[in-house]
Copies of this chain bind each other. A is one copy, B any other.
């Protein structure tokens, strides 16, 4: 990855884009925080898992917490930053559910939103994740976006073209 467009997507992927990294985060989010659980549930080879865990801990996405001395044993808990990657996992899962699944989905997420009625039955509903804009509250559609690269020399040219500092429009 020599000199590509400077981009937060690329930088994030440099951190968690290696094989198994996001699956590890999925598992710790689900509560499987121990080494052998991670081996079983992600399918990663043990040595690969070791290096992934090291990397994620160093990056501050996981923390290594001892749950036993003698023998020293650790679990890997997601930090706040790690949990904040959950939206990525949710959108990946939603896409896979929509495009890759033949029959039933392999996992259903139940969402307890809408300020649970105090005292009443607390009932959830199925989660249907959608990306919206915090500013205006609307669902984000591709055609409503315009990209403004901040680095000179890395303009965009397509339908989402930037119309910068010169009267004529791009393309």
Q: Which residues does A use to contact B, with CB under 8 Å?
A: 1-13, 15, 17, 19, 22-23, 26-27, 29-33, 37, 40-44, 81, 83-101, 104-114, 116, 121-138, 140, 142, 144-151, 154, 156-161, 169-171
Q: Which of A15, A27, A30, A85 has the most CB of B within 10 A?
A: A30
Q: Are A109 and B156 in contact (CB under 8 A)?
A: no
Q: Are B169 and A123 in contact (CB under 8 A)?
A: yes
- Name which residue of chain B comes closest to A129, CB basis: B131
Q: Are A128 and B135 in contact (CB under 8 A)?
A: yes
How many angstroms from the CA of A107 to the CA of B142 in the assembled complex?
Answer: 16
In the complex, chain B residues whose CB is within 8 Å of the CB of A1: 43
How close is A8's CB to chain B, nearest CB, in angstroms? 3
Q: Which of A106, A148, A157 has the most CB of B within 10 A?
A: A106
How many angstroms from the CA of A99 to the CA of B81 in the assembled complex?
Answer: 8
How many angstroms from the CA of A88 to the CA of B92 in the assembled complex?
Answer: 6
How close is A52's CB to chain B, nearest CB, in angstroms? 13
